[in-house]
Amino acid sequence: MTFSRSFPTGLHNLASRASTEMASNRPGTVKSAVRALIETRLGGNLRFWASWRDATRENKFVREIANKLSASILKPTELRSQIRKPHADTLFILGSGASVEDLDPENFREINSQVSVGINAWPLHHFVPDFYAFEPVPEDDSDHYRTMSLLARPDILAKQPHVLFLKPRTQIEVDQFFQIPVKLRSRTLLYGRFQPSTRALRNLSSDLGRLIGKLEATNFPVVPDSGASIVRMAALGILMGFKRIVFVGVDLNNTHYFWERNPAHLARNGIEGFSSGQTRDTHETMERIKRPFIVTEMIQALATPGKARGTEILVASKNSELATIVGVYRFEERAVQPKI
């Protein structure tokens, strides 16, 4: 039975029209009226249908690209079992913020005892996580363009981490995929993303809960997103069934990075300089210019369905912007400071 057949014809037609109106940029009262309708409590099924339609299309697209590249696709439940740490209950999401430099060797030993994912520029750091996650960049003049080539470091190759690569859409992005060392190519998994159809913050958490439940049942290689790698990895952590998700180096209230605070990270990789690409004082994921919800809204919205599935979302730095909405993780003690 196809998904569309689960809806009466009239409702299906209205949902199709609603999703088309959501995707268009045409001004007018029709679009506004449709948007108002689908953001009501009664429009929940319409929002879910539109979101799941996008997730299904993304699933198909990821599989097509993977076939062309002879690559594997992400399956959240399988990735959890492939990382051979059956007793690990915490996923550490490693960002590039300057607060990374506040961690000591004992903290990294604790992270290493659990499961960790390094995002985008993380290969500049000496700590090798269980898997890396990359979002390809659209221009080849960005310092991030060759980040994947850093995976050729001997200590990284020796650990054989998995590599998650957001599905490429252009030749430049395909070129970045092939920068991944051949020795890690068989451990590279393509995945996709989709945005929830709602544009009302009051609906975001409940809509994400329904979508995550559906993703759990299908094991699709896609995750909800709003233009931020940490959101995708948090959703993946929920789907993988971790008890805790802890953000490390995810500061958001500034654009200072660990390699700026400690240039030894660059020297270790034979690099003189590395531009983050950020042009403002706050991180770009905190701006609404390119996204319906900023990153803190998405993380806060994910916290509720996460908790319902037994996953708690925390942040390692009390100075992070996230510390205003989630608890602060204390290394070793496993105690949590109440959110501000």
Q: What is the pLDDT along the chain (340 residues), one digit of tens a residue?
A: 232 333 334 434 434 444 444 444 444 566 777 778 889 988 999 999 999 999 999 999 999 999 999 999 999 999 999 998 999 999 999 999 999 999 999 999 999 999 999 999 999 999 999 999 999 999 888 899 999 999 999 999 999 999 999 999 999 999 999 999 999 999 999 999 999 999 999 999 999 999 999 999 999 999 999 989 999 999 999 999 999 999 999 998 877 999 999 999 999 999 999 987 766 666 566 567 777 899 999 999 999 999 999 999 999 999 999 999 999 999 986 544 545 4
Q: Are strands 336-337 and 327-329 parallel, antiparallel or unpaired?
A: antiparallel
Helices (H), the chain: 9-23, 29-38, 44-69, 76-82, 105-113, 154-159, 171-177, 182-185, 201-218, 229-239, 258-261, 264-268, 295-308
Structure tokens at 321: 């912007």
Q: What is the DSSP letter of 240?
A: T
Q: Are 271 and 336 in contact (CB under 8 A)?
A: no
CA distances from 301 to 164, 296, 297, 332 (A): 24, 8, 6, 27
Helix axes 29-38, 9-23, angle to 10 degrees: 120
Looking at residue 114, what DSSP letter applies? S
| Cα–Cα distance for residue pair 45/34, rounded to 1 Å | 14
d(CA 4, CA 8): 9
pTM over 0.75: yes
- Which backbone phi and psi does 190 adopt, to 5 degrees? -85, 145
Q: Please count the other Cβ atoms lying within 10 Å of the Cβ belonging to residue 221.
A: 23
Dihedral pair phi/psi, residue 117, rounded to 5°: -130, 130
- How many Cβ atoms sit within 10 Å of the Cβ of residue 69? 17
CA atoms of 2 and 9, how far apart (whole Å): 13
CA–CA distance, 19 with 47 (Å, rounded to integer): 8
- Give the pair of three-digit tokens for residue 42: 């009664």
Which residue type occupies 70?
A: S
Contact between 112 and 143 (Cβ < 8 Å): no
What is the bridge-based pairing of β-strands 115-119 and 244-248? unpaired
Residue 257 DSSP class: B
In angstroms and rounded to an integer, the radius of gyration of the C-alpha atoms of the chain is 20
